[in-house]
Amino acid sequence: MACRCCIIPDDVLLRFASDPDLSDETRQALHHTAALSDQIRALRQQNAALTLAAIQLPIAKGASNAALPQALPAAHIFDCHHTMTLPGAQVANPGSSTTGTIKRAYGESENVAKFYWDIFQRDSIDGNHMTLVSSVHYGVKYNNAFWNGAQMTYGDGDGQIFLDFTRGNDVICHELTHGVTQHSLGLAYSGEAGGLNESMSDVFGSMFRQWEKRQDVHQADWLIGADIMGPLAHKKGFTGLRDMAAPDSAHAMAPQPAHYYPGIGNLDPHSSSGPPNLAFYKAAKAIGGHSWEKAGKIWYRALTTAPATPNMKMAQFAARTRTSAKSLFPDDASIHTAVDNAWTAIGL
């Protein structure tokens, strides 16, 4: 099975590329986006393998953190000018740019770093003040965003099915969280670990969107990619790419199974992430309040306090969250129950 590391899975791209309602130009842009997936995946796997080898070496970790100021890591923005050469030309003073794409890529990257620092005390993507690099205006009507193992890249979308990918703050955090996973559990992008890998990005991407809006678990819509849906996507009834609260709903452009079953690891990770996504939603809703305050901290601990485990099974991760709930909140049995019930409800 060929798994993809971009926010939009290939089956969605190819489905729309065959849609007679779309113009030839739009269908061609979708085909071209899908055609690059294998190469992007190969690059990310190579970078992830290097990271995994490095973090498994017996080198003292975190020693430099004590001397670092409590400041955000640097964020650099590059403009590809619609070429496919990375990283592109560096943008001077991106925070004051009059171009919305550049300003959003810069501001949201900084906000993701602030989110991870303020809520989880994580110093950038790698936990060690890593500079955040993003490239915008990649290709012509490129319909995706991706983390390639070292940097972020954003397409402008075709304007019909997908809009500029920097418009989705959850998309930005989703892809940067692939970097967090790369530098922590090191989850593979296949099997059950692949579904967990995608789920971690959806979970923290959704949390980040809620955090920016200061929404509690009841106010949030729990959609992934709602802000990158184009006018034709809305016309066809799609409200988002995925729905964490109802993974198999028809209004999700990429519906997922809502229940775990043996063999779910044979699916593309964008599909097999449905059950763990729903487990987080159920736990967060049962706990109440803001998703990042309790449920998020439980999931973060489960993601970051074990040695790299590339082939982790979903049941193993579920067990880690159950343990984390008790260690983080020893005096609140309702939280332990919420986490346990959430996983039990989806079959784990």
**Mean pLDDT (10-residue bins), the chain, 348 residues:** 66 92 89 74 59 62 52 94 96 96 98 97 94 96 92 96 98 96 93 97 98 98 98 97 98 98 96 98 98 98 93 98 98 98 98
pTM: 0.90
Which 3 state secondary structure label does DSSP give 85?
Answer: coil
- Check 175, 178, 183, 290 and give the catalytic one: 175
25 assigned to active site: no
Q: Where are the domains of the chain?
A: 10-49+70-182, 191-345
Phi then psi for residue 186, to 5 deg, are 65, 35
Query: How high is the pLDDT of residue 51?
Result: 62
pLDDT recorded at residue 36: 75
Looking at CATH, the fold of the domain delimited by 191-345 is given as Neutral Protease; domain 2 (1.10.390)
Catalytic residue among 174, 183, 270, 290: 270
The class level of CATH for 10-49+70-182 reads: alpha beta
The pLDDT value given to residue 50:
60
Which residues make beta-bridge pairs with 22? none
Cα–Cα distance for residue pair 118/282, rounded to 1 Å: 24
Report CA Rg, the chain: 19
- Find out whether 122 and 215 touch, Cβ atoms under 8 Å: no
Specify whether 175 is catalytic: yes
Can you give the pLDDT at residue 307? Answer: 87
DSSP codes joined into one string, 222-278: -EESGGGB-HHHHHTT--BSEETTSTT-TTBSS---SS--TTGGGS-HHHHTHHHHH
